[in-house]
Amino acid sequence: MPPNLEFALGQNLVLLRADGTKVYPPFLRWLLRGPEWWEQIGKFLNVGAVFDSLKCADVPGFELHIPPLEEQRAIAHILGTLDDKIELNRRMNETLEAMARALFKSWFVDFDPVRAKAEGRDPGLPKPLADLFPHSFQDSSLGEIPNGWKIGRLDEMVLLHRGFDLPTPNRTPGPYPVMAASGPSGTHAEYKVRGPGITTGRSGLLGKVFFVHEDFWPLNTSLWVKEFRGARPIYAFHLLSGLDFNLFNAGSAVPTLNRNHVHGLPIVIPPIGLVEYFERLIARLYRRAYQNERESGTLAAIRDTLLPKLISGEIRVKDAERIAGVA
């Protein structure tokens, strides 16, 4: 935590600080994430009727293995460097996703290239791409749309299908993500759908749309795109992300999405050539984001493996630096 930072502390929280004489302040963060800390929590935890609690007065009684200060600095540097790389990948992916969203909105929602050409301005695109956009607009039931584009139903672009049953006891951890209404929910040794694919919530949680790079198992609480008709996976992801699925809630106590109601939604349908151009262009960003995601997963696994071994002294700092690639 930066020095002299002002903040509000909730009544259910406790603030721990290290003065640097015995515990190096940045190391404290990692000490509190180690297994020894959670073992002590288990010993002193007061199991209540509503909430479990921990008395502040019990914390000084925790028995923890504290390495020498120099080792603490080295450990904090190694683990902090891994975390920094993960955070850098996260921010990069946010930027890549924002770029993709902005381009989709510009081309298929705001029709910026068409508007530029209609006003006699250069759309600022390579000629082969600019030629895919018309020079004028036409009226439609959804308002003004590019000339030559049409109004159709959502199922002309994508066909949604209910996910598959997979009770928790029947799951075997494996390489394939399991997709629930809320997104990734563990893994399984088998898949039902080839990636890349798109899922969204069918029951319980509506509105979130997920792009899945690899083969996956969509649960029965989700809908997945069974057919990419006039769309392609990345285009379909952005198209569905722009819809308010909560408007189609057919449930009472539990929010439920009826795919047949969604399939009839009127939408603007652009030429398939432009959709495929967008797909090829943005696919490079998605590949980079996927690589970053996988790298972050590897880095997090290394960090979580090294954390208890470094604090306990089971692994030496020099060996950890080599494993983590930290100089």
Q: How confident is the model at residue 255 (pLDDT cuts 50, 70, 90)?
A: confident
* 281 in Cβ contact with 273 (< 8 Å): no
Mean of the pLDDT values across residues 138-152? 97
Q: Which pLDDT belongs to residue 135?
A: 96
In a domain, 311, yes or no: no
Percentage of the chain modeled with pLDDT above 70: 97
Is residue 13 in a domain?
A: no
The whole-angstrom separation of Cα 10 and Cα 2 is 19
pLDDT (0 to 100) of residue 327: 59
Domain that holds residue 234: 150-269
Q: Specify whether the CB–CB gap between 166 and 217 falls below 8 A.
A: yes
323: buried, middle or exposed (CB in 10 Å: 19+, 13-18, 0-12)? middle
Adjacent-strand bridge partners of 210? 199
Judge whether 219 lies within some domain. yes
Is residue 83 a part of any domain in this protein?
no
Q: The CATH number of the domain where 259 resides is what?
A: 3.90.220.20
Domain membership of residue 247 (yes or no) is: yes
What integer best gives the mean pLDDT of the chain? 92
The pair of three-digit structure tokens given for residue 166, joined into one six-digit string? 């997979």
Closest-CA residue to 192 (of 176, 180, 205): 176
What's the average model confidence in pLDDT over 168-174?
95
In a domain, 235, yes or no: yes
Number of domain units in the chain = 1
Task: Identify any residues that bridge with 214 across adjacent strands, giving them in sequence order.
Answer: none
**Which pTM does this prediction carry?**
0.87
| Whether the predicted pLDDT of 1 surpasses 60 | no
- Burial class of residue 211 in the structure, from the number of CB atoms within 10 Å of its CB (0-12 exposed, 13-18 middle, 19+ buried): buried
User: Mind listing the pLDDT tens digit for each residue in 274-313?
Assistant: 999 999 999 999 999 999 999 999 999 999 999 999 988 8
Q: Express each pLDDT in 19-62 by its tens digit.
A: 899 999 999 999 999 888 988 888 888 776 577 888 888 888 88
Angstrom distance (rounded) from CA 308 to CA 289: 30
> Which of 60, 58, 62, 76 has its CA nearest to residue 20?
76
For 27, residues 6+ apart whose C-beta sits below 8 A from its C-beta are 18, 72, 73, 75, 76
* CA distances to 20, 39, 44 from 56, in Å: 21, 16, 10
pLDDT band at 106 (very low <50, low <70, confident <90, very high): very high
pLDDT at 147: 97
**What is the average pLDDT across 190-212?**
95
Instruction: Report yes or no on 204 lying in a domain.
Output: yes
pLDDT of 325 reads 81
- Give the pLDDT mean for 309-319: 89
**Does residue 106 sit within a domain?**
no
- Exposed e or buried b for every residue in 109-135, given b needs 16+ CB within 10 A? eebbbbbbbbeeeebebeeeeeebbbe
CA distances from 191 to 166, 168, 218, 233 (A): 11, 15, 8, 18
pLDDT over 90 percentage in the chain = 73
Look at residue 262 in the predicted model and tell me its pLDDT.
Answer: 92
pLDDT for the residue 286? 97
> Among the residues of the chain, which ranges form H helices?
25-31, 35-44, 69-108, 112-118, 127-130, 233-241, 259-263, 272-312, 317-324
